[in-house]
Chain A
Amino acid sequence: MPQLLFEIGVEELPALAIEPAARFLKEDFALRLNKLKLTYSSIEAFGTPRRLVLFVEDLLVKQEDQKEEILGPSVSIAYGDNGSFTQSALGFINSRGLKESDIFRKTTDKGEVIAAVKVDAGSFTKDLLPSLLVETMRAIPFKKKMRWEASGEMFARPVRWLLCLFGMELVPLKFADVESGNMSRGHRFMSDELFLVTSKEQYLKELAHRFVMLSSIDRERAFVKGAEEKLAHIGAKFLVDQELMATVRNLFEYPFVILGKFDEGYLEIPHEILICEMKNHQKYFAVYGADGAMLPYFVCTAGTKPYDEEVFAKGNARVLRARFADGAFYFAKDREQPLRQLADGLSSLIFERELGTVKEKSLRIEKVALALGQAFGLNDHELETIGLAAPLVKADLVTGVVGQFPELQGVMGRIYALLDGEPKQVAEAIETHYWPRFAGDILPALRAAALLSLADKLDTLVGIVAIGKKPAGNKDPFALRRAAIGMVRLLVHFGFSMPVSALIGVSLESFGEQFRMEAASVTSEAQDFILQRARGLLIEDLGKENEDYAVNFADSALLVGSKDILDIFARAHTLYAMRMREKDEFDSVVQTFKRAGNIVKKAEASGEKYRLELEHIQYFVVPVEIDLLRAVEHAKNLAENQEKKGSFEALRSMYINIFSYVVMIKPKLDSFFDNVMVMADDKNVRNARLSLLSEIKQIADRIADFTHL
């Protein structure tokens, strides 16, 4: 069976868009083929800066005919007295495009009807391909797309040619102002002329001659091999920085390795600055000796075969020299004053117009971190670290190096603090108070740094919510969602226990009088925002094991009990673990308590509240009632004697205990339901029974709202 070869020729795509686009091309097109029942033996896609390529092997040439049985009116209506078709039968035949000879009788569970088999002839693949391919092209989820000609069609960069062959045949299709053909091009500078394509094998052979390596994996291998060979000469190693490599292997269609050298003197400025220049700005790899020390060399790729490697190496080195000179200049200038003095500059850096300067923010961070630190039981040494670090955490924002390289914020703060002789923990806290910076990022190691991070994020979130600039839709300029998620992760990881509203209260306090009037509304808005993020994170956490239950477990824990993130997580995880350990037992416990909970909810819907009081006791007369009452009191005593401890693990084991007390009630509750009518006619008896069930619900509510499971 024939193969499909589809190549989208483009102007240079952004490096990081290439691999995802190729992956999408393959997955999306496979889905479309499957939907149309077009079978194939294999499908592959590749990308380079100048082309996205799709290969499908042994693709079906024509869809199979589809047979469908359609049923008409019943025989009694379909045939007239003389045995000929009635109007209603003819109506059916004509409306479905059938012939009278197609009709046969069929017995169904609704009696005997007239029926026919309709055959839908399958389409030829070559007729389906144009719209399928164009739809896939339109669907590629590039981060940014552009228009370039009159049709208004969009792509990441202009499409300049399309090659589409199915078998030996050209498949005519059009995207924007480009019509497909049977021609392709080689490397832009080394083989740009058009060449004729007749088959995949011939195409691949031509590309190999024309300096195009289709596979990014092959490009990476070739680059690493070339780099290792060159580095062996100077006794250096090549350490692959994966993040950088993901870009570099997609910068060129064919890699040519260049080894360059820079002035050794630059090794005296912090290596972070050098690496930042090389990696982020020039896409060069740093080079290290066998002992791990940085060497004054770099490795990079040229996109065109160097006519003289020395010239290429020197050219690239020259750009690097200008950049290093800039870095060295700003570093020297920054070092004219200690970081503590530089921090004075924060009073002229605006954080947000209504929320004041970054200096004011730092002062609030300090207050909040210290207050929370005391509440969470940090020791004197840790509190001292917070006090020393807080005025410095943002200080590097006014340095020249961070002005030039914003990605070094925090890192330069650490370096300058160490050079100033600040304690090591202080320097570490400065750098790591930004962590976690993004989803899945590492957390700070020090508790002092965790509190500074928490206080910083809390300050941004509460402040921005208070001035009414909470994110709406996709716009989240202050990254409040990320801040809230970071806070939740810190609270859970470090076992910091405090109701969310209290955390917000501590932050509001640090703003002094500013938001006193609207404190209540700000608290509720900020709390909702944080809990919403916590819910998302919890669902994600639980969903790793089993998605079906994640939402229910998260919600059941969030609906009742304290609004303390650590506590919520511990409760949800406990339930989840219980469910995973013993599914049947768990489900039957849940059923029983759900029933109790639902009865109470329904009774209380009228606004009445049922609480077990001494006066109710006299109305318990049936033995199963009395048994249940005893069991409930016992479980309640045990549950109340559980000491609430700090860490996530301690909380979890506490909730496992409470769950086991709930389980203890279950048999008594079952026989209660089996033998007693809760909604008794006697009002006093009814109230007593409802109050008892309410007591049970309250015990269960210590963990979660079971009615939600």
Chain B
Amino acid sequence: MAENKVFVENLDQSDPFNFGIISYKVIADNVFADLAISGALRFVRILIDINKPFFYIWGELSITETSIQFGDVTSINVEDRGIRVVIEDETYAPDILRVIWTQFGRENLTQIDRWNILIPPQFTTVEELKQVITVNPRERIVNKVLDAFNRIIPEGFRVRQNKFENNIITIIASENPIEPEWLNQVEEALKKSPIRIPDEYSEKLKREPKKITKKIVPWKTHEFQESLE
């Protein structure tokens, strides 16, 4: 699925589809498949200029801002001793606990068991508590996407500039200080439509069992036995 979303382009036009470019397409496809985030990305462009050198990734997320509030995953009742919070969806338990620990202080809360927590009445009201944002799944996805980008970028390129706005994540990485003219070059390249790697080049690294004409020798035979036959 990710194959049609990821485009790797060479900014040095002398040899646009060399082995490095084709293999980085393979690497990117594999990394997105491994981390299972190809659904979260709408479009990825990787621009490489290895002579400068720099490596630029531009990724557009396909998910919008949705946050899970306290009321969605817990049930809240008022008791004599305080407000009782019952965790109903346990997958969010760590996030719920982190939020209320930071907000009210861990020592003020009474944790009755795994699911039941008692908050003293003077801290908050039920309505306020229901509005608190427990977790934002988009943030998790963004972290995963950043992890994927870090896996793709060559390890030696440690000078980086990240940008994240309007659903678009960009990283430029190099081993030298990043120059403004590179960014201009990248911007111009991004205005053009992406170039797909032609099939005759990408077939070089296609993993399909090829038909082999030579005779396959089993593990426990020696070569001179063949000559006897």
Asked if A and B are interacting partners, one says no
